[in-house]
Structure 1
Amino acid sequence: MTNTWLITNVRPHAGPRADGCVDVSIAAGRIAAIGPNLPREPGVTVEDGAGALLLPGFVEGHTHLDKTLWGMDWYRNEVGPKLTDRIENERRYRAESGHDAGAQSLALARAFLQAGTTRLRTHVDIDTDAGLRYLDGVLATRDALRDVLDMQIVAFPQSGVLRRPGTDALLARALQAGADVLGALDPALIDGDPVASLNLSFELAQRYDKPIDIHLHEPGELGAFTLGLLLDRVEALGMQGRVVVSHAFCLGALPEPARDALLERLADLRVALLTTAPSSTPVPPLKACLQRGVTLFGGNDGIRDTWTPYGSPDMLERAMLIAMRYGLRRDDDLALAFDCVSSVAAHACGFSEYGLHQGARADLVLVAADTLAHALVARPPRKLVVAHGRIVARDGVCVEDLIEH
């Protein structure tokens, strides 16, 4: 594929020509022009879109590439019901099996690319037993795919920052080694001291000038209390727009007045929420968030690991699950679910130059579907996936020579 080329005869999923066909001119990895009947310059490669639906590359807002067992033999899950059971079971399995975070993260990242994801945020365990071994593996994957996949790495303390001495020093090393974001976990339930835990996390984030993405599983009033403490620090330290709260189950279980007061603060401080839209756990209310200007986006969480047999690198599937969890049925409401794994996710994670417009990076997906809603429900094989202006998958199969280094 040449550096300048043209995709013809595609239908944008939104906009004034949603019902008509356009062409997309790509040059130097960017969208040079988009519109009907673009000129065919001599010598320029032309790819016929054959009337396919044109989508932007998908965004995975929250996954754990380092943990996955993708492509491996089936893992028999007999873990106990508590969060700490899952944490300790995973630590034991990874230590005993020699789980290779580099090879496994590469396998799942390639599967994401094949299904149309071109930007991705992954949490990586920083562990006092394994040190930075898992981070090193995912850093190698990020480097191997750097030309076709934008990957943000969150340095994630899976056991909290206080319970295992030395975790804070390892997190500092991880941020220096290339992690983009500081992670955190349940300051009250896991660390047992939300004030000390949050103080340590925010001090680290400020010292290394990194944003924060915190897992907050804490339920009801306890979660609301922790969330309030977190928002106090965002406000006091001027970290507006630099914090994501993942899961935030408490917001799905609070009385509306208490919930809405927190939503108002979240919107005012530009703190975004990430949901995986689990089927059996309270979730932040999508439409209440939209009404108040709170950014809510989506992700898978773990995919085929010791925690869960579920998950898929297909973000159209995740968008459909988000739509189902929130009871979305109208075509325009299904578009809101797609926003959670595309434009809203890109904004929340800070991925720039995103979208289907002139000057945006050329991250494109073609599918055989009538409409966006149809694409989410049917999830057809990707006819073409373009990342950074290069074809990386065709008819559901990776183009090997473009992502091997």
Structure 2
Amino acid sequence: MSNQELLLRNVRLETGFVRDSNKQIVATETAFFDIHITNGKIKAINAKGQLKNSTENSAQNVKIVEANGLLMLPTFQDMHVHIDKTYYGGDWHAAPWTGDIKNMIRLEEELIPKLLPDSQQRAEASIQLLQSYGSTFARCHCNVDPVSGLKSLEHLLLALDNYKDSFTWEIAAFPQHGILYSQSEGLLREAAQIDIDFIGGLDPTIVDGDMKKSLDIMFDIALDYDKGVDIHLHEDLPSGKAVMEHMIQRVKESPILQGKTFITHAYALAMLPQNELEHIADQFAEYGIGIVSSIPIGQNALPIPTLIKHKVNVRAGTDNIMDNFSPFGSGDMLQKANLCAQLYGWTDEYRLNRALKMITDQPLPLDDQGKQVWPWVGADADFILVKASCSAEAVARLPKREAVYYKGKLVC
């Protein structure tokens, strides 16, 4: 859309919670508004009809869009996704599981050279998929390994650059084949001098065979180049707990990493006794260590309600869209919020509404007390329109994304 100004008419916004006689939240109030957007920002928000004369008659280039009562939600963030080595956009492939991470590494060493020639095109197809479901941001974990060198990263950067006007991102340099196991420290240091944001790691005990050395290399590179840390941790007990404790200690020693350190998967949390879980959750919150999850089901289901209770920053990600590790990723972050609600019994209006915190970094339309806090005048015009009466219904029913806007521009 070339127009610099947009008038979005008759859009539904949430305005508060409805409580019963026992002060329990039983519904969400909404009302209809007209929203004036200019230069990618929200310029004015008025009750339906109030903007019509002042805006439509004042500028020739105002584009008028009739929302027809669709609900406005903030756009989503996919906090963990691999689009540098996906099959998506190409032929169908199931995911052979060898039962052993090192066998999977050997398999990937054979597959990566076959994927590299058109990895940029498949990454772009994946970005389009994420956008179609309402995500305008992703943290992309990109292979850095002796097989691909920095080629996967170079191709990913080219793909992302082609969407810089409609998408934002962070990149984690990910040593999929192990820092020590594949002798990738040098490559990670090279990657750190390119346009990335996080240094990754992988199962430092079962893959690298030396937890402390592997973790210390990861942290040292991050500190040397002013990056964050985001590790893949699939290990169970006792090694998984030991990894998390060492990471807490490293962040404790380097406060600059507080709020910039994440543990993805963290399956060991699901195996901890409750008292140990509560203690480690307190430490995560105190030192700003976040948890990113693909919301697994079964024995690896994480104790997310406990983490949230302790105010740990818990976010969701797609992980694999379709690659040699999994063929199941849809790219739909709203589906992740829905899965959280199903797994943890968030069936009531309030907790369904709050489930959106898992998938967006923007304030939700209502704060925890029910005060309207989004959108606001001056905010970036990043939003989704869906056919739903409220956020709770959107999380529960997964409506089609009717429109996705990024800085006032229609993305899809």
TM-aligned CA deviation for residue 21 of structure 1: 0.8
Question: What pairs with 1:182-331 in structure 2 (closer than 5 Å)?
Answer: 182-238=199-255, 239-331=257-349
Counterparts of 1:5-404 in structure 2, within 5 Å, are 5-13=6-14, 15=16, 18-37=29-48, 38-40=50-52, 41=55, 42=58, 43=60, 44-96=62-114, 98=116, 100-165=118-183, 167-238=184-255, 239-343=257-361, 356-393=375-412
Give, as a single letter, the amino acid of the residue that structure 1 aligns with 2:6: W
Partner of 1:349: none
Question: SS at the partner of 2:171?
Answer: strand
Closer, same or farther in 2 for the Cα pair 1:284/1:127, shift >3 Å? Answer: same
Does the Cα contact within 8 Å between 1:278 and 1:325 map onto a contact in 2? no
- 1:6 aligned counterpart, secondary structure: strand
Q: Secondary structure at the match of 2:45?
A: strand
Q: Which amino acid aligns with 1:20?
A: A
TM-score (ref. length: structure 2): 0.89
Shift of residue 170 of structure 1? 1.0
Whole-Å separation in 1 of the counterparts to 2:94 and 2:305: 38
Deviation at 1:369, TM superposition (A): 1.3
After superposing the two structures, state which structure 1 stretch, 320-329 or 147-156, moved more.
320-329
The structure whose Rg is larger is 2
Change (3 A) 1:357 1:229: same
In structure 2, C-alpha distance between the alignment counterparts of 1:73 and 1:146, rounded to whole Å: 27
* Cα distance in 1 between the residues matched to 2:115 and 2:125: 18
The amino acid of 1:6's aligned partner reads: L
User: How many aligned positions are there?
Assistant: 385
Q: How many Å apart are 1:111 and its aligned residue?
A: 1.1
Structure 1 gap segments, 5+ residues each = 347-353, 394-405
**1:388 shift after superposition:** 1.8
Between stretches 191-200 and 277-286, larger displacement belongs to 277-286
Q: Deviation of residue 345 (structure 1)?
A: 10
| Pair 279,356 (structure 1): closer, same or farther in 2 beyond 3 Å | same
CA distance in 1, matches of 2:205, 2:86: 27
Amino acid at match of 2:200: G
2:319 counterpart SS class? coil
Let me know the Cα RMSD of the aligned residues: 2.0
The answer on whether the counterparts of 1:13 and 1:55 sit within 8 Å (CA) in structure 2 is no
Shift of 1:334: 1.8
Counterpart residue identity of residue 11, structure 1: R
Q: TM-score, normalised by structure 1?
A: 0.90
Give secondary structure in 2 for the equivalent of 1:124. strand
Change (3 A) 1:303 1:99: farther
